């Protein structure tokens, strides 16, 4: 009560956009709640393509009444959701926040290190090992961390997602809670990194066993399948489908979960994962009293878009369209709840993605004669190993290749007294010969050169001297890596949607190119605070009220 009265006093007797020295206090006109709606693997084409099938209160409400950044990009060399999520909520590039991949070789410890796994912590909400997670490897502050600092810890920061990394990187270091799906129990869980005890309300929520409910059903199309004219039939796309063999509606989720090994992880590949998250959000908001006073709180909800199975169906599929028609309803329900409860002027919404998807390379080549192709990393690295053996002598010179980053065996290189820079250069030179590889750059070149503004700038933005590989590669546009026995989640498309809605945001559109790192500085400007020190993005000034430009 005292907190509310104090803030109300300042809001009544001080100018609307009053800042303390250094902009370290929140503006009195700031929204009471910032809500980030992040949809993983979302191609911006989906909004226009499915527009006529959407209802009036979900995507249409946001894009008809909000401010659209129509030329928004995730300008990372390596287009991984982990990297994109870290960039979105820190406002900077991997070269600073340090999340250069899902995992990397830690040269000091001489072992592979996961970006979030942390054995110093354990699960709350279950006894699963999936709780051994933290944001300790994220090297910079997030939006939530900044809000905590300027409000002296009074802002409430929460995130929820199907995937652990999404919840953790959107929450940051000092959040009050980050929740994700436990594959073992089907519960929403967290880590002792964020809380010592699991909240009673969340325990009660898990007792409903909603994961069992949703996976105990059959997935049929929301509308008549014949009406999905915006999609392409499976026979044309040659889709693999679930488990490499099921690609036709309806889908018996009970049987599919069983064939997938019984893990609740399968829920992420269905549209009902988004329903589950919406249900959890509608419980969390009142129980944690988000937006209940005049100190801004932050809630991030990270929806999944077919998750890892988007590659088995693809962006043209009926399955993808049905997922988005259903997601439209979940977003509509969440918007209605928040707007009716707090008023549109008191909630700032932003909807975006941290990764996009690529169209089927073979389909584009046959249907539209585009210059696309398939690159096989497995055979290419095998040839590289043979080359290095001939050039430098027999040895296991390649330690790891993953997501466009190649790590050489530094221990062996030192033992055989081979010049590291020479091997890096020879490796890059060899990989540059392959069709489908646009650039291969050695680490010492990236470290010493300045690629600002050119086609190689993304190499420098994605390079961290302690974590990145010895050689990094970029594929040609339209080329997709694919191995015979291993699924590779890759996209060559860096364009994603971004729309702002609510609290002082006027309807409009900008075609100016904006970047994922611009979101945090823009939110901070709307809140009347400076962004985290490490943020390198720019404020999207077009959406700001004229009084603060």
Examine the pLDDT at 94 and tell me if it is beyond 80.
yes
Examine the pLDDT at 7 and tell me if it is beyond 80.
no
Question: What is the tens place of the pLDDT at every residue in 277-316?
Answer: 999 999 999 999 999 999 999 999 999 988 777 778 888 8
Query: What pLDDT was estimated at residue 24?
Result: 52
Query: What pLDDT was estimated at residue 356?
Result: 83
Question: What is the tens place of the pLDDT at every residue in 320-370?
Answer: 999 999 999 999 999 999 999 999 999 999 999 998 887 777 777 777 777
Examine the pLDDT at 1 and tell me if it is beyond 70.
no
Question: What is the tens place of the pLDDT at every residue in 39-90?
Answer: 999 999 999 999 999 999 999 999 999 999 999 999 999 989 999 999 999 9
Query: What pLDDT was estimated at residue 374?
Result: 87
Q: How many angstroms separate the Cα of 22 from the Cα of each of 28, 274, 426?
A: 15, 40, 50
Average pLDDT over residues 424-440: 96
Which range has the worst mean pLDDT, 40-44, 160-164, 512-516? Answer: 40-44
User: Strands 72-73 and 514-515: what pairing?
Assistant: parallel
Comparing 241 with 119, which gets the higher pLDDT? 119
Question: What is the tens place of the pLDDT at every residue in 442-484?
Answer: 999 998 877 666 778 889 899 999 999 999 999 998 888 888 7
Residue 29 near residue 10 (C-beta atoms within 8 A): no
Query: What pLDDT was estimated at residue 5?
Result: 43
pLDDT band at 2 (very low <50, low <70, confident <90, very high): very low
Query: What pLDDT was estimated at residue 549?
Result: 58
Gyration radius of the chain over CA positions: 24
Question: What is the tens place of the pLDDT at every residue in 197-221?
Answer: 999 999 999 999 999 999 999 999 9
Query: In the numeric block, which tokens belong to residue 308?
Result: 């890892």
Domains of the chain: residue spans and CATH: 2-87+136-180+207-345+497-548 (3.40.720.10), 373-481 (3.30.1360.150)
Examine the pLDDT at 228 and tell me if it is beyond 80.
yes
- 173: nearest Cα among 195, 150, 194: 194
Query: What pLDDT was estimated at residue 423?
Result: 98
Evaluate if pTM is beyond 0.85: yes
> Which residues sit opposite 501 in a β-bridge?
349
pLDDT band at 515 (very low <50, low <70, confident <90, very high): very high
Q: Please report how many Cα atoms fall inside a 13 Å half-sphere around the Cα of residue 77, on the Cβ side.
A: 32
> Which residues sit opposite 439 in a β-bridge?
474
* Distance from C-alpha of 67 to C-alpha of 226, rounded to nearest angstrom: 33
Query: What pLDDT was estimated at residue 491?
Result: 81
Tell me the percentage of the chain whose pLDDT exceeds 90: 77
What's the mean pLDDT when you consider all of the chain?
A: 90
Query: What pLDDT was estimated at residue 508?
Result: 97
pLDDT band at 18 (very low <50, low <70, confident <90, very high): very low
Average pLDDT over residues 495-521: 96
Place of tokens 């410890």: 109
* Distance from C-alpha of 168 to C-alpha of 138, rounded to nearest angstrom: 10
Contacts of 168 (CB under 8 A, 6+ apart): 116, 133, 134, 135, 138, 159, 178, 180, 191
User: Strands 111-114 and 103-106: what pairing?
Assistant: antiparallel
Per 3-state DSSP, what percentage of the chain is helix, strand, and coil (rounded to 5)?
A: 40, 15, 45
């Amino acid at each position: 009560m005292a907190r509310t009265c104090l803030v109300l006093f300042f809001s009544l007797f001080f100018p609307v956009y009053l800042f303390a020295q250094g902009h370290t206090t929140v503006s009195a006109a700031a929204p009471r709640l910032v809500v980030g709606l992040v949809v993983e693997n979302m191609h911006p084409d989906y909004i226009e393509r499915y527009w006529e099938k959407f209802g009036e209160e979900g995507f249409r409400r946001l894009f008809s009444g909000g401010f659209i950044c129509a030329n928004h990009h995730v300008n990372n060399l390596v287009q991984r959701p982990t990297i994109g999520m870290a960039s979105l909520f820190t406002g900077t590039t991997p070269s600073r926040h340090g999340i250069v991949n899902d995992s990397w070789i830690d040269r000091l410890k001489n072992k592979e290190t996961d970006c979030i796994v942390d054995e110093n912590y354990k699960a709350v909400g279950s006894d699963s090992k999936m709780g051994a997670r933290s944001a300790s490897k994220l090297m910079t502050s997030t939006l939530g961390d900044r809000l905590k600092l300027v409000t002296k810890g009074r802002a409430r920061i929460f995130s929820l997602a199907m995937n652990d990394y999404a919840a953790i990187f959107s929450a940051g270091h000092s959040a009050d809670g980050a929740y994700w799906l436990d594959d073992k129990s089907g519960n929403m869980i967290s880590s002792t990194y964020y809380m010592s005890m699991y909240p009673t309300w969340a325990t009660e929520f898990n007792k409903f066993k909603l994961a069992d409910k949703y996976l105990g059903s059959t997935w049929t199309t929301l509308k008549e399948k014949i009406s999905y004219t915006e999609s392409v039939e499976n026979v044309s796309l040659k889709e693999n489908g679930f488990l490499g063999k099921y690609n036709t509606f309806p889908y018996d989720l009970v049987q599919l979960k069983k064939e997938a090994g019984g893990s609740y992880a399968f829920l992420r590949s269905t549209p009902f994962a988004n329903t589950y998250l919406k249900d959890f959000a509608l419980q969390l908001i009142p129980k944690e009293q988000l937006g209940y006073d005049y100190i801004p709180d932050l809630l991030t909800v990270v929806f999944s878009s077919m998750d890892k199975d988007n590659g088995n169906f693809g962006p043209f599929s009926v399955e993808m369209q049905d997922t988005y028609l259903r997601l439209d309803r979940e977003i509509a329900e969440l918007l209605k709840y928040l707007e009716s409860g707090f008023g549109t002027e008191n909630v700032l919404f932003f909807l975006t993605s941290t990764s996009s998807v690529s169209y089927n390379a073979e389909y584009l080549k046959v249907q539209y004669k585009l210059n696309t192709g398939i690159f096989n990393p497995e055979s290419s690295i095998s040839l590289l190993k043979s080359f290095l053996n001939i050039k430098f002598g027999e040895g296991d010179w390649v330690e790891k290749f993953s997501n466009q980053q190649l790590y050489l065996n530094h221990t062996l290189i030192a033992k055989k007294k081979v010049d590291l820079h020479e091997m890096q250069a020879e490796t890059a030179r060899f990989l540059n010969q392959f069709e489908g590889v646009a650039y291969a750059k050695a680490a010492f070149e990236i470290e010493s050169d300045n690629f600002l503004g050119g086609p190689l700038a993304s190499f420098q933005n994605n390079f961290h001297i302690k974590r990145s590989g010895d050689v990094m590669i970029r594929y040609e546009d339209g080329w997709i890596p694919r191995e015979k026995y291993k699924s590779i989640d890759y996209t060559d498309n860096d364009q994603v949607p971004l729309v702002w809605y609510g609290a002082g945001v006027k309807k409009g559109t900008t075609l100016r190119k904006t970047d994922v790192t611009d979101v945090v500085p823009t939110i901070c400007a709307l809140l009347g605070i400076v962004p985290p020190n490490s943020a390198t993005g720019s404020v999207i000034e077009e959406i700001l009220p004229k009084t603060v430009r």
